[in-house]
Amino acid sequence: MSEPITAVVASNQARPGRKLQHVVESQQFTVPLLMELFDRSRGMERIVARGGSLDYQHRIMATLFYAPSTRTRLSFEAAMQRLGGRVLSTEQARAFSSEMEGEQVEDSIRIIGSYSDVIVIRHHEEGGACRAAQVSPVPVINAGDGDGGQHPTQALLDLYTIHRQRPLNGLSVALIGELDKGRTARSLAYLLAKFERVKMFFVSPPETQMKPDILAYLEQHGVQYEQETNLDRVVGEVDVVYQTRIRPERLCDRASLKRYAIDSSVLRRMKSDAIILHPLPRTVELDKSVDDDPRALYFQQAKNGLYVRMALLTMLLERE
Domain ranges of the chain: 5-150+303-317, 166-296
- The total of other beta-carbon atoms located within 10 Å of residue 131's CB is 19
pLDDT at 147 over 90: no
5-150+303-317 is a CATH 3.30.200.20 domain: no
Nearest CA-CA partner of 21 in 169, 132, 173: 132
CA–CA separation, 261 vs 258, rounded Å?
Answer: 5
Q: 123 forms bridges with which residues in the sheet?
A: 145
Nearest CA-CA partner of 177 in 147, 213, 151, 210: 210
Query: Of 7-16, 71-80, 254-263, 271-280, where does mean pLDDT reach its minimum?
Result: 7-16
Helix (H) or strand (E) holding 158: helix 152-163
pLDDT at 188: 97
What percentage of the chain carries pLDDT values higher than 90? 72
What average pLDDT does range 259-272 have in this prediction? 92
Cis peptide before 294 (omega within 30 of 0): no
More confident residue, 20 or 73: 73
Residue 124 is which amino acid?
H
- The total of other beta-carbon atoms located within 10 Å of residue 249's CB is 6
How does residue 10 score in pLDDT terms, banded at 50, 70 and 90? Answer: very low
Nearest CA-CA partner of 41 in 88, 75, 2, 89: 75
What average pLDDT does range 271-288 have in this prediction? 92
Alpha helices in 194-278 (DSSP H): 212-220, 264-269
Residues near 211 by beta carbon (within 8 Å), at least 6 away in sequence: 148, 179, 180, 186
Q: 63 forms bridges with which residues in the sheet?
A: 89, 120
What average pLDDT does range 217-229 have in this prediction? 96
Helix (H) or strand (E) holding 145: strand 140-145
pLDDT at 91: 64
What percentage of the chain carries pLDDT values higher than 70? 87
pLDDT at 255: 65
- The total of other beta-carbon atoms located within 10 Å of residue 103's CB is 12
Geometric angle at alpha carbon 247, from 232 and 279, rounded to 5°: 75
166-296 is a CATH 3.20.20.370 domain: no
pLDDT at 14 over 50: no
Burial of 190 (C-beta count, 10 Å sphere; 0-12/13-18/19+) = buried
Q: 243 forms bridges with which residues in the sheet?
A: 176
The rounded mean pLDDT for the chain is 88
Reported as a single tens digit per residue, the pLDDT across 28-69 is 999 999 999 999 999 999 999 999 999 999 999 999 998 778
Reported as a single tens digit per residue, the pLDDT across 235-251 is 999 999 999 988 867 77
Does this chain's domain 5-150+303-317 share its CATH topology with 166-296? yes
Q: How far is CA 104 from CA 99, 101, 107, 110, 131, in A?
A: 6, 9, 6, 10, 10
Nearest CA-CA partner of 285 in 309, 251, 306, 261: 261
Reported as a single tens digit per residue, the pLDDT across 167-185 is 999 999 999 999 998 999 9
pLDDT at 298: 96
pLDDT at 117 over 70: yes
Rg (CA), the chain: 19
